[in-house]
């Protein structure tokens, strides 16, 4: 049974995340979506809301479980969950530059491999930060988020 973790703050989850998570279920038997809490960050949605929005938005994917990553080390979480890999989406070289040191560190810490999936082109410009900004100015974010998120953000 292969198990991977897709970690993130998911503040909120958007269609680019869902695309990567759904593609991860074709590579692994089980995919755990791990919702992080970083005390240095200010979130638009609190921990409970981010988890609920992930669960509602991923309910059509039976291989996916949504769990709190909490504020601990990701490598330790993977070890506890029996996961051998992380899956991350890459929108650009900037993402790669940010992700590569973490991938190397996670492999060194707990022998966890990181699998990078190139983001589908239609989501290559989508980020939670940008969507929150567009929505705050009244822009239409419906094409980029699942219905549960649109109801909260739109």
Residues near ligand PNS (CB under 6 A): 7-9, 36, 38, 73-75, 102, 105-106
Residue with smaller CB distance to ligand PNS, 48 or 140: 48
Q: Indicate if the alpha-carbon torsion angle 122, 129, 93, 110 is positive or negative.
A: negative
Residue with smaller CB distance to ligand PNS, 63 or 102: 102
**Residue of 14, 17, 50, 88 marked catalytic:** 17
Q: Is 129 exposed, middle or buried (0-12, 13-18, 19+ CB in 10 A)?
A: exposed
CB of 98 to ligand PNS, least distance (A): 8
Residue with smaller CB distance to ligand PNS, 25 or 36: 36
Which residues participate in catalysis according to the annotation? 17, 41, 91, 128
């Amino acid at each position: 049974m292969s198990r991977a973790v897709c970690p993130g703050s998911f503040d909120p989850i958007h269609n680019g995340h869902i695309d990567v998570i759904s593609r991860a279920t074709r590579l692994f038997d089980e995919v755990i979506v791990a919702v992080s809490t970083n005390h240095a960050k200010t979130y638009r949605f609190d921990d409970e809301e981010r988890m609920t929005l992930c669960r509602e938005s991923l309910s059509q994917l039976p291989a996916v479980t949504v769990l709190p990553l909490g504020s601990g080390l990701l490598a330790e979480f993977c070890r506890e969950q029996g996961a051998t890999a992380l899956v991350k989406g890459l929108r650009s070289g900037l993402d790669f530059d940010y992700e590569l040191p973490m991938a190397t560190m996670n492999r060194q810490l707990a022998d966890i491999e990181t699998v990078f999936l190139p983001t589908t082109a239609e989501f290559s410009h989508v980020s939670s930060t940008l969507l929150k900004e567009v929505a705050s100015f009244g822009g239409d974010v419906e094409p980029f988020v699942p219905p549960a998120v649109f109801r909260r953000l739109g």
